[in-house]
Amino acid sequence: MLRFFLYRLALVIPTFIGVSIVAFAFIRLLPGDPILLLAGERGITPERYEQLQAVYGFDRPVIVQYLDYVAGILQGDLGTSLVTKRPVLQEFFTLFPATLELALCAIILAVVIGIPAGVFAAVKRGSWFDQSIMGVALTGYSMPIFWWGLLLIIFFSGFLGWTPVSGRISLLFFFEPVTGFMLIDSLLSGQAGAFKSAVSHLILPTIVLATIPLAVIARQTRSAMLEVLGEDYVRTAKSKGLAPKRIIGLHALRNALIPVVTTIGLQVGVLMTGAILTETIFSWPGIGKWMIDSVGKRDYAVVQGGLLLIASVIMIVNLAVDVLYGFINPRIRR
């Protein structure tokens, strides 16, 4: 098992180097001189230009600059935001819990609905139930989620007035973040109504972000289940006279879930793409909105750092899923 883990880890290293090269190259690929870009509209004196070149190291060979950059990353230095002047890493960790909270709620919703829906669709294969579930799933999979979010706002916020339009919690409540998770912090604060407000802000973004993973998980569960239900051991269990519930729950589902675990892990990248759109629509103060705003404000130091950090999160989760997969399915450990 340890050897399997180390092997997988070794595979991640070249990808990480590649990701760091992409992030490093980003500022240098932008059209125009990076220093002039950093200086913005005000322009810059030639002396200050020289000075800044030395500060950023642009006067040295590219290889040296890259190695310097990597050395910085390894020490946790990802540069400073050009707008807020705060370290990029610090900004990331302030905003990341908001995205994590949203993404976790979304994936939980997707799993809790998607797996049972897929299982029932497979068991009742060909029925109207199966067909309507798969129809809904394909619609969800085809959904432009930014539009879906706007529709939900029109209906639930505009028409019914049930949920707020944006943010994480009502402005009436204020407390210091402890965990960064609004659901937990609002409970810890002890303020009456804070938790309810946090939940009402979270519902619509969660639904929007969960839509595509939910559709993918339901479809994947159904096809994995169909495959397993045709296996010999399921027929044996049936002929032994086991109750259908027991066959599906104990024999079939456990084996069908193995590929589904991988699918759930692969949704992390989908969730990050979704977070960019969802957070923009609901003004959710997470890293998706942070990245969009930084691109808009030309805060390239943040874009560079954010690219690296987000790709790293995805790689770490994928590695974890790979290892978990090896753990629950010993056949692939070799």
Q: Which residues bind other proteins (CB under 8 A)?
A: 14-15, 18-19, 21-22, 26, 29-31, 135, 138-139, 141-144, 146-148, 150-151, 153-154, 157-158, 226, 230, 269-270, 272-273, 276-277, 280, 291-292, 295-296, 303, 307, 310-311, 314-315
Smallest separation, CB 93 to other proteins (Å): 18
For other proteins, the closer of residues 162 and 174 by Cβ is 162
Q: Whole-angstrom Cα distance, residue 92 to residue 306?
A: 7
Smallest separation, CB 56 to other proteins (Å): 18
Smallest separation, CB 241 to other proteins (Å): 26
Smallest separation, CB 25 to other proteins (Å): 9
Contacts 24+ apart (CB under 8 A), 302-305: 302/81, 302/82, 302/83, 302/88, 302/91, 303/26, 304/23, 304/24, 304/26, 304/27, 304/78, 304/79, 304/88, 305/23, 305/78, 305/79, 305/88, 305/89, 305/92
For other proteins, the closer of residues 151 and 243 by Cβ is 151
For other proteins, the closer of residues 183 and 228 by Cβ is 228
For other proteins, the closer of residues 157 and 255 by Cβ is 157
Smallest separation, CB 144 to other proteins (Å): 5
* DSSP labels, 84-109: T-SBHHHHHHHHHHHHHHHHHHHHHH
CB 234 within 8 A of CB 251: yes
Element (H, E) at 3: helix 2-29
CB 88 within 8 A of CB 78: yes
For other proteins, the closer of residues 149 and 326 by Cβ is 149
For other proteins, the closer of residues 189 and 306 by Cβ is 306
For residue 218, which of 89, 315, 121 has the smallest C-alpha distance?
A: 121
Angle between helices 253-281 and 287-296 (to 10 degrees): 40
Residue 60, helix vs strand vs coil: coil
For other proteins, the closer of residues 189 and 201 by Cβ is 201
Residues 6+ apart with CB under 8 A from 320: 265
For other proteins, the closer of residues 75 and 142 by Cβ is 142
Smallest separation, CB 18 to other proteins (Å): 3
Smallest separation, CB 60 to other proteins (Å): 23
Smallest separation, CB 214 to other proteins (Å): 15
- Interior/surface letters 219-234, b for 16+ CB within 10 angstroms, e for the rest: bbbbebbbebbeeeeb
Q: What are the helix (H) ranges across 230-252?
A: 232-239, 244-246
